[in-house]
Amino acid sequence: MVAGMLRLSVLLGLLACVGAAAELEVRSGPELAAAAARARPGDRILVAPGEYPGVVLAARGVRGKPVQIEALDSSRPPVFTGMIYAPNCAWATFRNLEVRAAGGEPFNGLNADDGGDGSPAVGLVFEGLRFVVERGNGLKLAGVDELVVRSCRFESWSGAALDLVGCHRGLIEDCRFVTDRPVEHGVQIKGGSADVVVARCEFSGPAARWVNIGGSTDRDLLRPRDAVAEAARILVEANTIRGGLTAVGFEAADASIVRNNRIEDPTKFVFRILDSTRFAQGFVGCRNGRIENNQVIYDSAELAALFNLGFGADWRSFTLRGNAWYDRAQRLPPRWPGWLRWALPSLADLPSPEIGGSYGVAPEPR
């Protein structure tokens, strides 16, 4: 250990002298933490195979020259048995790392945030990560702007596999969320988050809500503090969602879109439109959502309803267009009930009239 730290100190000193980007191999938690703290823009920190404890990684690159923290050998990624905490990082990439924890106290597998100082972390990329965290969230991001989560695999968690609080201008793509036991959320985007895309991901298993656009966040934790919606301008596109109690929830969400997804066999609701902020001053409410060109396969013998419509949500402002609905039980195609919603409610009632939808024909997978 002493020899390793001495080697690291010498290398970092030399790099400081020449000012050039470099590759640095590390083999212990302390070496990794020190290398991240001292890294210059453009440096690559290569983490050798092995088991590592939880670690604090405070890396700061610049736009176009991120600090990259990644596996030395992508076929044998380093395994972290405690939380990776990345406070107030800037322009940093985390690639081909694994977090694995069985039992014990709940914790976040990787937690990146703004350090609570009001200035967002920025430019973070999470690529090729694997999370197997039995108790807690997989990847927790709070106050992070310009973020990418790409090709990550979430295999075990209890809260949310991917939890975004007050994050802006983000892309979540080509990730896989799979569970064989009940969990809360796959992806949750809340706390004033805006302009986030969830695309080409796969969700499978018994989650309460696979994608939750919005949520219920303490006012003091909103980013920015004057946010008027839990989530705004979120796009959920071209994903496959299988099983779960609910495929997609809108909760105090504004102007968000769910389109071109394939949704198969939710067991309670296909969509939820709720408003947990209806009594909060300054919030605009859950409104102006768009649900378009989705393939929805369900079994009306199992569902409670296609839509769960909450008190206070402006579900009449939602636009439905071009969705293909198929009931495996061949009993109840969707309908726009008008005044019948109150006199003769049906589990197949839509929140507003649909434009150009199709009913009763099993859609081929895209």
Quote the number of domains for the chain.
1
Q: What is the pLDDT of residue 276?
A: 75
The pLDDT of residue 101 is 82
* 307 found inside a domain: yes
Q: What is the mean pLDDT of residues 187-204?
A: 97
* Confidence at residue 317, expressed as pLDDT on a 0 to 100 scale: 96
Q: What is the mean pLDDT of residues 41-50?
A: 98
209 belongs to a structural domain: yes
What's the number of CA atoms in the CB half-sphere (13 Å) around residue 55? 26
Average pLDDT over residues 50-60: 96
Please report which confidence band the pLDDT of residue 362 belongs to, taking 50, 70 and 90 as the band edges: confident
What pLDDT is recorded for position 122? 98
pLDDT at 153: 98
184 in a domain, yes or no?
yes
Is the distance from CB of 326 to CB of 303 less than 8 angstroms? no
* Range from 57-61, 69-73, 198-202, 327-331 carrying the lowest mean pLDDT: 327-331
Per the model's pLDDT, the better-predicted residue between 347 and 44 turns out to be: 44
Residue with the bigger pLDDT between 276 and 251: it is: 251
With 80 as the cut, is the pLDDT of residue 280 above it?
no
Please indicate, yes or no, if residue 118 is contained in any of the structural domains: no
Q: Is residue 9 part of a domain?
A: no
> Which residues span the domain enclosing 257?
159-359
The residue with greater pLDDT, 219 or 108, is 108
Q: In angstroms, rounded to a whole number, what is the distance separating the alpha carbons of residues 66 and 39?
A: 10
| pLDDT tops 70 at residue 13 | no
Q: What is the mean pLDDT of residues 195-201?
A: 98
Query: Is 320 a member of any domain?
Result: yes
Q: Calculate the dihedral angle through the C-alpha atoms of 319, 330, 261, 98, rounding to the nearest 10 degrees.
A: 130
Q: How confident is the model at residue 116 (pLDDT cuts 50, 70, 90)?
A: confident
Average pLDDT, the chain: 90
pLDDT score recorded for residue 218: 83
The pLDDT of residue 286 = 94
Higher pLDDT residue, 288 or 1?
A: 288
| Contacts for 183 with CB less than 8 Å, ≥ 6 apart | 157, 158, 159, 161, 205, 206, 207, 208
Q: What is the mean predicted confidence (pLDDT) over 17-31?
A: 83
Contacts for 130 with CB less than 8 Å, ≥ 6 apart:
77, 97, 98, 99, 100, 152, 153, 154, 155
pLDDT per position as a tens digit, 294-303: 999 999 999 9
Q: Give dist(CA 188, CA 209) in Å, integer.
A: 9
pLDDT digits (tens, 9 = 90+) for 205-223: 999 999 999 998 888 888 9
**pLDDT tens digits, 344-357:** 678 889 999 999 99
User: What is the number of H-type helices and E-type strands within the chain?
Assistant: 3, 37
Domain assignment present for residue 60? The answer is no
pLDDT score recorded for residue 219? 81
Residue 28 lies in a domain: no
pLDDT score, position 348 = 87
Of 222 and 72, more confident: 72
**Per-residue pLDDT tens digits for 119-173:** 899 999 999 999 999 888 999 999 999 999 999 999 989 899 999 999 999 999 9
Q: Please report the DSSP string for 6-18 in residue order.
A: HHHHHHHHHHHHH
